[in-house]
């Protein structure tokens, strides 16, 4: 059984009763669980706090059991089983039989596998299925882009001798990415 019992010496009687009921029930859990008997004595006991920290570091699921009314530490988020008024082993047993919350690792693996399957299906459809990009749409966009470049070039290229003399200043004020295109076009036109 992978169940650890954490308690203060003052709560030993309740701890022994829980241990006996667990042994008698034959209950087995598939994960590491720490049963934390919580009371004012446990809250002030350094060894209890160290045992809780060790259980958390070991990846154990921590179930608080209220032996006596006391405020739980903020890091313990599970709903406690209340034994302050009456001992209810069935409530404890029901909590232990709950399935653990799936880890983020399992979710990540499922998402990665799904993404890889979609990628493989897309490659298959493009390579074997004959799916292609919409050629007419791409040609229309390419034509529009070229027309925009032509308007820019016609506006900034020299058309007479005076504009040719001022071309270095025009080039200096043109966007950096467009300067090589302006220079190549002006050079080609000068050669004509």
User: Please, are residues 166 and 158 in contact by the beta-carbon 8 Å criterion?
Assistant: yes
User: Please, are residues 66 and 98 in contact by the beta-carbon 8 Å criterion?
Assistant: no
Q: Grade residue 101 by pLDDT with cuts at 50, 70 and 90.
A: very low
Residue 95 has pLDDT above 90, yes or no: no
Q: Which of 71-80, 120-129, 169-178 has the lowest mean pLDDT?
A: 169-178
Please list, residue by residue across 44-75, b when 16 or more beta carbons sit within 10 angstroms of its beta carbon and e when fewer do. ebeebeebbeebeeeebbbbbbbbbebeeeee
Give the mean pLDDT of the chain.
Answer: 83
pLDDT number for residue 93? 82
> Which tens digits make up the pLDDT trace of 103-138?
567 788 889 999 999 999 988 888 887 787 788 888
pLDDT number for residue 146? 86
Residue of 152 and 67 predicted with greater confidence: 67
pLDDT number for residue 138? 85
> Which tens digits make up the pLDDT trace of 12-54?
999 999 888 888 887 777 678 888 999 999 999 899 989 989 9
Residue 172 has pLDDT above 60, yes or no: yes
Radius of gyration of the CA atoms of the chain, in A? 37
Which distant-in-sequence residues (6+ apart) come within 8 Å of 169 by Cβ? none
**How many angstroms separate the first and last alpha carbons of the chain?**
91
State if pTM tops 0.85.
no
pLDDT number for residue 98? 61
């Amino acid at each position: 059984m992978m169940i650890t019992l954490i308690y203060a010496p003052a709560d030993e009687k309740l701890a022994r009763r829980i241990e006996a009921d667990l042994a008698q029930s034959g209950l087995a859990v598939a994960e590491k669980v720490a049963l934390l008997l919580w009371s004012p004595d446990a809250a002030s006991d350094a060894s209890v706090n160290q045992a809780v920290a060790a259980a958390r570091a070991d990846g154990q699921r921590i179930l608080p059991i209220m032996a006596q009314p006391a405020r739980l530490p903020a890091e313990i988020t599970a709903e406690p089983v209340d034994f302050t008024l009456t001992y209810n082993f069935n409530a404890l047993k029901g909590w232990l039989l709950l399935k653990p919350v799936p880890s983020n690792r399992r979710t990540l693996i499922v998402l990665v596998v799904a993404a890889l399957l979609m990628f493989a299906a897309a490659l298959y459809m493009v390579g074997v299925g004959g799916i292609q990009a919409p050629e007419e749409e791409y040609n229309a966009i390419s034509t529009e882009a070229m027309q925009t470049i032509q308007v820019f070039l016609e506006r900034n290229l020299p058309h007479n001798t005076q504009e040719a003399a001022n071309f270095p200043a025009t080039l200096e004020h043109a966007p950096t990415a467009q300067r090589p295109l302006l220079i190549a076009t002006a050079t080609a036109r000068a050669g004509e």
